[in-house]
A and B are shown apart, each in its own frame.
Chain A
Amino acid sequence: MKGTGMNQATKMAKLDENSVTAENVNFSNCDRELIQYSAAIQPHGVLLVLLEPDLRVLQASANAAAVFGLSMENLLTSNFEALIGAPQMDQLLKRLGSTKLEGSPVHLLRLDVGSKQRFHVFGHRIDGVLILELEMAGDAAAADTLDIYSELRMAISRLQATGSLDEFMNLAVEEIRAFTGFDRVMAYRFLEDGSGDVTAESLKPEFEPYLGLRYPASDIPLPSRRLFSLTWVRHLPNAYYEPIPIVPVTNPVTNGPLDLSYAFTRSVSVMYTDYLKNMGAQATLTITVLKKGHLWGLISCMNHEKPVHVQYETRMACEFLGHMISLLMDSKEESGNYRNKLKLAAAWDQLSEHMAREKDFRDGLTKHEPTVLTNMDAGGAAVVAEGGVRLLGTTPNAEQVLSLANWVATQSETVFSSDRLASLYPEAEAFQRSAAGVMGIRLTHEHPAMILWFRPELTQTVNWAGNPEKPVEVSIEGDSVRLAPRRSFELWKQSVSGRSASWERWELEAAGDLRRKIVEVVLQRAEEVSLLNRQLEQSNMELDSFAYIAAHDLKEPLRGINSFSGLLRADSALDAKSKKHLETIQTLTQRMDALIDSLLEYSKVGSMDLQLVPVDLNAIVEHVVQTIKPRLDEGNVTLRILRPLPMASCDAQLVEEVLQNLITNAAKYNDKAERWIEIGYKQQNPVTYFVRDNGIGIDPQHAEQVFQIFRRLHGRREFGGGSGAGLTITRRMIQRHGGRIWFESTPGEGSTFYFTLGPEKREL
């Protein structure tokens, strides 16, 4: 039997289970190879198929005869005891009786055959037979167990001391290379799509590094990956081995092919050995790495210069290391994430302090270091709120960010993320260079207020080890199709579009933390505002009760002063001059009385409830004119209403007082012979009313003083006097409506007082 032919047969079995290759291959072409199928093992082992309980030899690998110094015919009629002697047989039977042997082979004993050959014996039962695999043991085997133990212990403590997953993996491959002596040791990580990449590597300097290379999913197909989760360590000592056939081919008990599924010395797929040969590898050892019970990847060891048979003891140590790496990796990754999260949490704390200080929380998030972008692995960030956008770093433009925010707001998650935004939101194609990936936290439900982070399109290229589209080469030999793994592992660059690095779970959690912090600050601010409002209300109430008390308590002595002065004046014993002085006292008390009334009025305007109803301002003006008509007539004042005033939602009584004050002032502060007053409005948002006159005007430098209480710009006896509270009260009435009052004036020519009766529309 020619080795290559049999390898082809083995290959077919692998191909079947692996479903690798191009679809255009017709598998029936491979029938020839299937017929030639027979079981075989690798030459570093010897395989015996025994029938219990007397352990009669049913089948044996072709190399067994030489090992036991018998002809194959004699071997196949022997009892195993005859081959190994009674003491070792007793030992074996004891182990067989006390060990479960279904499934993976179990190490049963060390066996001496003759004086020179030492083997490790592994056994497992299948299909009613016992399969023993004898693996040749090296000279130093067993002797170094203690050394291995202490080396392992030190390696593990060094691994434990690492700070991050990267550091950990780099050390792990280093330790394993030191431990096993392979030319190259790589940490190979499986990605979501089944492809994998080399994340850490330790190698002899003369070899080309594979670090960072990506391998297509078909290089390690799914069934193989599944196998990796079942066995911790697999070893191929020599890719160029000559397979050893098993004789006879058929299992005499089942009359079928021998099932070697569990045999670790089983001959492997030629696809695999060819693949390794094409890669320039002569020997391999792979250690499974699990993360939280799921296959994370492999530690893959390769020898390029020569074959190497890794001894059982070392393999066990590797298995142990595989367990340790799997266990530690998890915590390394978590502690790395934890440290990153801590860093972010510290940044978030500072952020919320900024937020609390800034009036506009968008400023708090973007104006100072740290910003929302600091310590976040993102190219840019945006804060979207109240129709405005703040951008940091590399981002799409403001308009694009706004529409994106509107779209993200329709997503159900409060923390949204995607590493291929354009596949969900096609508009993102326009800006995927800067934002192929996005993560967003929504701050409110009503309108899109959110923070977005952007990740640029991934490195733009993936470095494949060879063309990933052609992991298999198809060649035609005569009338059959032959499949072979690709020969070229040259760097194959492929551009990847529309994807960013993916958002890690801890990053989503950190974003969620920030969201909670912001909401807290916003809520706290709302509380502060309502507390201020309550305090303001309280102080308003106190002011009002003060005004009330002032009115009562100040007026009482005032009344006394006035009255007793009046009584005195009636006293005939006083001379005229004294009576004049008493009259002055009375005038002063009257003025004080008026001032107190103004204060009372002012405080009343502040505390009264507004009755907002639709009001016909024309009727109000008419009523005012009627009320003050005598004064208008007396001053020869013409009043013009430029066009009918619109309806307004306001408190009719207050607005009447406003208009009366303004019109009275317009009539009063006027020294022209022909006095006029115009009343009109501008159709703005909100509607702006005005009262214009051709009076004495106001110096603009007194713009604020005219509105200050008891502040008079003219002498008491000029322009009819007044308490100096009129415009103050007027302004308060307007402010109670949410409006404002201001004026334009040219001294000597006239003034125009403008006012609104509602809040101005907020600018975006």
Chain B
Amino acid sequence: MTTDITQPIVIIDDSYEDVEITTELLKGLGIRQPVVHLPDGRALRSFMQNGNNDGEKTLPALILLDLNLPVVHGYDLLLEIRRVDWLRTTPVLIMSTSSNPRDIERCYAGGANSFFTKPVDFEKQRRMLSVICEYWLEYAWTAFSANNGRRS
């Protein structure tokens, strides 16, 4: 395990249903980290400034970012995240319904670590999340985990 159990998984998505399912799936996959749901850019900005509800800026293990968001587009939020010091190196995974090549290209250029199209199929979703968690939470080094020497 490269991540700390206290590091939250931040989901930025305006669809409460999607977030609910993701949360359920994560639970089913045995992931115990807290899930923080930020439904829009305003919530994200508040999070970036103040951290979580308790006011503590606990570094997220993963940020799952939807692109098609109200008011501010996910891509612009990606750029904002990358400009915030304490989140600069946090893995940001784009979770989009679109597979628009232009979006894919610019998100990678803007500092995204992965780009996924959300599958409609429940089983596919489950498998995808499973792979993501295994990869990012189990195997991959992040800047934070490397610096904090966490490796089980």
Q: Chain A: residues with CB nearer than 8 A to chain B? A: 548, 551-552, 555-560, 562-567, 570, 586, 589-590, 593
Contacts and interface: CB of A to CB of B under 8 A. Distances in A.
Given A555-B97, A558-B120, 20 more contacts: A551-B97, A551-B98, A552-B68, A552-B97, A555-B118, A556-B15, A556-B18, A556-B97, A559-B21, A559-B118, A559-B125, A560-B15, A560-B18, A562-B120, A563-B17, A566-B122, A567-B24, A590-B120, A590-B121, A593-B120
Contacts of B123: 566
Question: Which interface residue of B28, B121, B122 has the most chain A CB atoms within 10 A?
Answer: B122
A570 B123 CA distance: 11
B90 to A, nearest CB: 25
A563 B122 contact: yes
B126 interface: yes
Contacts of A557: 17
A582 to B, nearest CB: 10
A213 to B, nearest CB: 87
A507 B85 CA distance: 84
Nearest to A556: B15
Given A562-B120, A590-B121, A567 B18 contact: no
A550 to B, nearest CB: 10
A553 to B, nearest CB: 8
A559 B119 contact: yes
Given A548-B98, A555-B97, A556-B18, A567 B122 contact: yes
Interface string B1-29: 00000000000000101100100100010
Contacts of A564: 17, 21
Given A551-B97, A555-B97, A565 B120 contact: no
A564 B125 CA distance: 12
9 contacts: A548-B100, A552-B98, A555-B118, A556-B18, A557-B17, A559-B18, A560-B21, A564-B21, A593-B120
A562 B125 CA distance: 10
Given A552-B68, A552-B97, A586 B18 contact: no
Given A548-B98, A548-B100, A589 B120 contact: yes
A559 B118 CA distance: 8
B121 A586 contact: yes
Interface in B8-65: 15, 17-18, 21, 24, 28
Contacts of B126: 566
Interface in B71-130: 97-98, 100, 118-123, 125-126
Interface of B: 15, 17-18, 21, 24, 28, 68, 97-98, 100, 118-123, 125-126
A562 B98 contact: no
A567 B27 CA distance: 12
A562 B18 CA distance: 11
Contacts of A570: 28
Question: Which interface residue of A557, A563, A590 has the most chain B CB atoms within 10 A?
Answer: A563
B139 to A, nearest CB: 26
Contact of A559 (B28, B98, B100, B120): B120
Contacts of B100: 548
Contacts of A562: 120-122
Contacts of A590: 120-121
B97 A563 contact: no
Contacts of A586: 121-122
A119 B97 CA distance: 119
B88 to A, nearest CB: 29
Contacts of B97: 551-552, 555-556
Contacts of A560: 15, 17-18, 21
A708 B122 CA distance: 31
Question: Which interface residue of B17, B18, B118, B121 has the most chain A CB atoms within 10 A?
Answer: B121
Contacts of A552: 68, 97-98
Contacts of B28: 570
A556 B28 CA distance: 21
Contacts of B24: 567
Q: Top 6 closest A-B pairs, CB basis?
A: A566-B122, A593-B120, A560-B17, A552-B97, A563-B21, A563-B122
A590 B18 CA distance: 17
Contacts of B122: 562-563, 565-567, 586
A570 B24 CA distance: 11
Given A560-B17, A566-B126, A555 B120 contact: yes
A603 to B, nearest CB: 12
B112 to A, nearest CB: 18
Nearest to A608: B101
A548 B15 CA distance: 17
B100 to A, nearest CB: 7
Nearest to B118: A559
Contacts of B98: 548, 551-552
A682 to B, nearest CB: 36
Contacts of A565: 122
B92 to A, nearest CB: 20
A29 to B, nearest CB: 106
A231 B69 CA distance: 98
Question: Which interface residue of A559, A562, A564, A593 has the most chain B CB atoms within 10 A?
Answer: A559
Nearest to A560: B17
A589 B125 CA distance: 14
A282 to B, nearest CB: 104
B67 to A, nearest CB: 9
B53 to A, nearest CB: 27
A558 B15 CA distance: 12
Contacts of B125: 559, 563
A586 B126 CA distance: 14
A548 B123 CA distance: 24
A324 to B, nearest CB: 84
Nearest to A590: B121
Nearest to B13: A556
A549 B115 CA distance: 19
Nearest to A568: B122
B32 to A, nearest CB: 19
A651 to B, nearest CB: 15
A559 B68 CA distance: 15
A560 B17 CA distance: 6
A567 B120 contact: no
B70 to A, nearest CB: 12
A86 B36 CA distance: 140
A593 B118 CA distance: 12
A556 B120 CA distance: 8
Nearest to B97: A552
A556 to B, nearest CB: 6
A562 B119 CA distance: 10
A555 B24 CA distance: 19
A557 B120 CA distance: 9
Nearest to A548: B98
Nearest to B21: A563
Contacts of B119: 559
Contacts of A589: 120-121
Nearest to A565: B122
A583 to B, nearest CB: 11
Nearest to B67: A552
Contacts of A551: 97-98
A567 B28 CA distance: 10
A595 to B, nearest CB: 11
Contacts of B118: 555, 559
A565 B123 CA distance: 11
Contact of B21 (A555, A558, A567, A593): A567
Contacts of A559: 18, 21, 118-120, 125
